[in-house]
Amino acid sequence: MPELPETETIARDLDREITNRKVVSVLVEKTDVLREVDATQFSERLIGQRIEKVWRRAKLVVIDLSSGDHIVVQPRFTGALLIDAGDLPARERQYSCLHFALDDGRLLHYRDIRRLGTVALMTHAGFAAYTATLGVEPLDSSFSPAVLSGILRASRQAVKKVLMDQRVLAGVGNIYANEALWRAGIDPSREAKRISASEAESLHAAITSVLSESIAHRGTSFRDYVDASGGKGGFVEHLAVYGREGLPCPRCGAKLIGTHEIDGRSTVLCASCQR
């Protein structure tokens, strides 16, 4: 599932490519991906609108329109936003759920093979109410070691589960929770409230560094994630633990172990140097 670095990459690409373009037509082929509005409302409210900005909130790609509406895309497992200048591969077009034509002749597709992602059209008030339920952004200046420590002290759950709770920390998912906890030397199953202030400071540094580095490499691609041009992310080559169960720990050489005991998600850790 695309996490913060992947959706940030998509949003930056789209902001550069389609900001100030006008929507001239809309085609919805798979209505089950739509939220908040039906296909007719979606089309009517988009046509003629200018795209003012594309940005990210949590794991969402947000497209601001001149009407004040927001297109809010949650890609989940196989969703992608792809710019089509007539050169999009046939396979990608095959799984296009909707697209809109821009005034420069290009199309913007929402492609989703498994159709588990969503595309919502929200008013400004609706969007504000929706995003108010999301937690602090880990790359914002407001996210400090003290803020993280306060979040952790308030929970008896496993620290990894807390990091992935979008209501308290927005954008971190399974990949980067695994990586950050390894960097900080913290066992993912430890009770969050038992993380000391100094450990929270190390974990804060680990979270911000791994997210920033992944953005620099345009995200992590295992299978489905692609950027707005269909390109793969390169951070997979820099992962220390995620997807490396049974291999040596890059830090101490011990065998990495895997478990699904924490919230049913794949967790990989080094039992030797994560305490």
**Region of residue 44 (left: phi > 0; alpha: psi -120 to 50; beta: else):** alpha
265 given a catalytic annotation: yes
Q: 79: Cβ–Cβ under 8 A, 6 or more apart, which residues?
A: 2, 33, 73, 110, 111, 112, 116, 117
Name the token pair of 112. Answer: 């989703």
CA separation for the pair 269, 243 (Å, rounded): 10
Q: Which of 45, 57, 59, 218 is catalytic?
A: 59
CA separation for the pair 138, 136 (Å, rounded): 6
**β-strands 267-269, 96-102: how paired?**
unpaired
Q: Which of 76, 232, 244, 265 is catalytic?
A: 265
3 given a catalytic annotation: yes
Give the gyration radius of the chain's Cα atoms: 20
2 given a catalytic annotation: yes
Strands (E), 3-151: 23-28, 34-35, 51-57, 60-65, 70-74, 79-84, 96-102, 107-112, 118-122
**β-strands 34-35, 118-122: how paired?**
parallel
Cβ atoms of 261 and 161 within 8 Å: the answer is no
Q: Which of 3, 6, 8, 199 is catalytic?
A: 3
- DSSP class of residue 190? S
Name the token pair of 238. Answer: 């820099």
250 given a catalytic annotation: no
User: What b-and-e string marks burial along 87-105, b requiring 16 or more CB atoms within 10 Å of the CB?
Assistant: ebeeebeebbbbbbbbeee
Tell me the catalytic residues: 2-3, 59, 265
